[in-house]
Amino acid sequence: MLVGACSFLGPQPVILSTAGVPVGVPRPTCGGLKILIDGALPCQDLASIAIEALRRQAPGHMARGVTAIDVSLAQCPSGAVDQNVDCLGNEIAQYVTVTFGPPLPDSPVEPSLVVVLDPVSGQLLGFENRLIR
């Protein structure tokens, strides 16, 4: 399986599901490093895992709606200023950037959040704030 090599044109809506729960979100775009990882999860599965993690951890952001999802394979951060990611020995990770709609009254203002996942198991490694590096 070639991870990170998929590409979709335009923000076409698609229904993703995790644990049987349908979620209406834009289709993810996929990119980043292009390497073979045995047993790696497909891009859409990683996007679905990230959306479910944000539903639990960042409901205020999710209430704004999701306008884009970008899945990218890259090196796992080591020694980063933002210590919210534990690579668990992984050299690479899937970064799922979820972009939200405009802020609502009394809602968080961050335009996006990044969910970092293990490429094979989909285990949550943490959340990264790209503004802190």
80-109 tens-digit pLDDT: 555 788 888 888 999 999 999 998 888 888
At residue 7, the pLDDT reads 32
In 3-state terms the chain splits into helix, strand, coil percentages (rounded to 5) of: 15, 40, 45
For the question of whether the overall pTM of this predicted structure is more than 0.95, the answer is: no
- Whether 114 shows a pLDDT value over 60: the answer reads yes
pLDDT tens across 4-56, in order?
333 333 333 334 444 333 346 788 999 877 788 889 999 999 999 999 999 99
Q: What is the pLDDT of residue 132?
A: 54
How many alpha carbons lie under 13 Å from residue 42 in its C-beta half-sphere? 9
C-alpha closest to that of 14 among 42, 39, 53: 42
What is d(CA 62, CA 60) in angstroms, rounded to the nearest whole number? 6
